[in-house]
């Protein structure tokens, strides 16, 4: 390296031949190393790749996208599904409340979520975690999500936790590409076709409410729930974030969330916070409710209360 070398003007020397050989081998090695990329199928079509952000899709665009997703689901999973994009209804803001006095920790809600939302089967994914807590403490640190004995156990109470649909959602603030946002009816959603998978929102959420698709979800055709929403329970692509959406494909059509329907004790109360006659409003007015980690200022729209 002591002399600056300049390109030789003419003639091919041995050195050049070695260099040529080296370059060829090098290129071959590069091709070999990157070969797995050829088996990577992040999108089924160019339109898929170029798809715009959800909020920028026209009605026609959206129709095309929904059809394409149905087709791709058929192709990849062998299931016939209907994907809709229900809009939030004016005058509706959803809230959820949970009665800790009667929850028995059976995890039926978590199971219902698993099926309703077409979660990955092998990992037994669900948006709901149920913590077993000891009487006398509301400290989450004393909770245990991995209890494995008949419930309810003596001197324990149970606290299911899912997305709190915060009014000040830190997950939304941190997203660099606006792939996640809060809808007018209060539900925080993710555009699975826009998320780049940086997982900043997962770090920002104080309630462990977000889930990442570390690999392509696996689910047998027969078990797929065919009633699907673009922003909710359609099968998520690999490498993107997902979360609880209060089953918006159901609740925006007047139904109740799957977790509520599955609860055998009636511990869950769901409804429109803007409707003064709703059951959720009755709970907020007549029970002493609290929210998790209130000190963080996230303003959860998921409330807990005790009966007695």
Partner 1 sequence: MPESATTVPSGAAEFWRQYPRFLARVLWEAFDGSRLFYAWMTLLTAVFLVGANAWAVQVRDGLAVTAMSDHVSWGLYIANFTFLVGLAAGGVMMVIPAYLYHDEEMHDVVIIGELLAVAAIVMAIMFVTVDLGRPDRFWHLIPPFGRFNFPVSMLTWDVLVLNGYLLLNLHICGYLLYMRFIGRKPNPKWYVPFVFLSIVWAISIHTVTAFLYCGLGGRPFWNTALLAPRFLASAFVSGPAFIIIAIQIVRRVIHSDFGEGPIRTLLNIMRVTILINLLMVGSEVFVEFYTGGSHTSAAHYLYFGLHGHNALVPWIWSSVVMTVIAAGLLLSPRAVADRRLLNLACVLAFAGIWIEKGMGLIIPGFIPSTLHEVVEYLPSVMEWKITAGIWALGFMIYTVAIKVTINVMGAGRRHFSVLPPEA
Residue 128 engages ligand SF4 in binding (rule: CB under 6 A): no
157 in Cβ contact with 174 (< 8 Å): no
* Nearest distance, CB of residue 129 and ligand SF4, angstroms: 12
Which residue in this structure is represented by tokens 């689901």? Answer: 73
Selection from 97, 127, 103 nearest residue 115 by Cα: 127
Shortest distance, position 2 Cβ to ligand SF4, whole Å: 50
Binding mask 44-83 for ligand SF4 (x = CB under 6 A): ----------------------------------------
Residue 152 interface partner, choices ligand SF4, partner 1, none, CB cut-off 5-8 Å depending on type: none
Mapped onto helix, strand or coil, the DSSP state of residue 220 is: coil
Burial class, 109, CB count within 10 angstroms (exposed 0-12 / middle 13-18 / buried 19+): buried
Q: Nearest CA to 161 among 89, 113, 92?
A: 113
Which among 133-141, 220-228, 249-257, 265-273 is the span making contact with partner 1, rule CB under 8 A?
133-141
User: Of ligand SF4, partner 1, none, which one does residue 155 interact with (CB within 5 to 8 Å by kind)?
Assistant: none
Q: Which residues are CB-neighbours of 183 under 8 A, at least 6 positions away?
A: 88, 189, 231, 248
**Residues 71-110 vs partner 1: string with x where CB under 8 A?**
----------------------------------------
CA dihedral 135, 141, 142, 143 (to 10 degrees): 80
Residue 205, interface with partner 1 (CB under 8 A)? yes
At closest approach, how far in Å is the CB of 199 from partner 1? 5
If one asks whether residue 137 binds partner 1 (CB under 8 A), the answer comes out as no
Do β-strands 82-84 and 227-229 pair in parallel, antiparallel, or remain unpaired?
A: parallel
């Amino acid at each position: 390296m002591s002399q600056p070398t300049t390109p030789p003007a003419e003639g091919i020397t041995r050195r050049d031949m070695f260099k040529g050989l080296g370059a060829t081998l090098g290129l071959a090695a590069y091709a070999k190393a990157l070969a797995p990329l050829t088996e990577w199928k992040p999108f089924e079509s160019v339109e898929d790749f170029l798809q715009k952000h959800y909020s920028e899709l026209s009605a026609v665009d959206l129709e095309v996208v929904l059809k394409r997703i149905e087709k791709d689901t058929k192709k990849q999973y062998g299931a016939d599904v209907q994907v809709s994009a229900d809009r939030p209804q004016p005058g509706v803001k959803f809230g959820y409340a949970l009665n800790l006095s009667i929850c028995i920790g059976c995890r039926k809600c978590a199971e219902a979520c698993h099926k309703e939302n077409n979660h990955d089967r092998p990992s037994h994914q669900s948006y709901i975690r149920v913590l077993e807590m000891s009487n006398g403490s509301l400290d989450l640190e004393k909770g245990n999500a991995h209890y494995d004995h008949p419930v309810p156990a003596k001197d324990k109470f149970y606290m299911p936790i899912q997305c709190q649909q915060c009014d000040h959602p830190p997950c939304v603030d941190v997203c660099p590409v606006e792939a996640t946002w809060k809808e007018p009816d209060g539900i925080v959603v993710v555009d699975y076709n826009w998320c780049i998978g940086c997982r900043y929102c997962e770090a920002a959420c104080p309630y462990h409410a977000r889930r990442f698709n570390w690999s392509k979800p696996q689910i047998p055709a027969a078990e797929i729930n065919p009633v699907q929403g673009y922003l909710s329970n359609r099968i998520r692509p690999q490498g993107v974030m997902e979360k609880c959406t209060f089953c918006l494909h159901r609740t925006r059509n007047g139904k109740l969330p799957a977790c509520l329907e599955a609860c055998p004790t009636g511990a869950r109360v769901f409804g429109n916070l803007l409707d003064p006659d709703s059951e959720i409003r009755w709970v907020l007015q007549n029970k002493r409710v609290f929210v998790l980690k209130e000190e963080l200022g996230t303003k959860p729209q998921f409330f807990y209360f005790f009966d007695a």
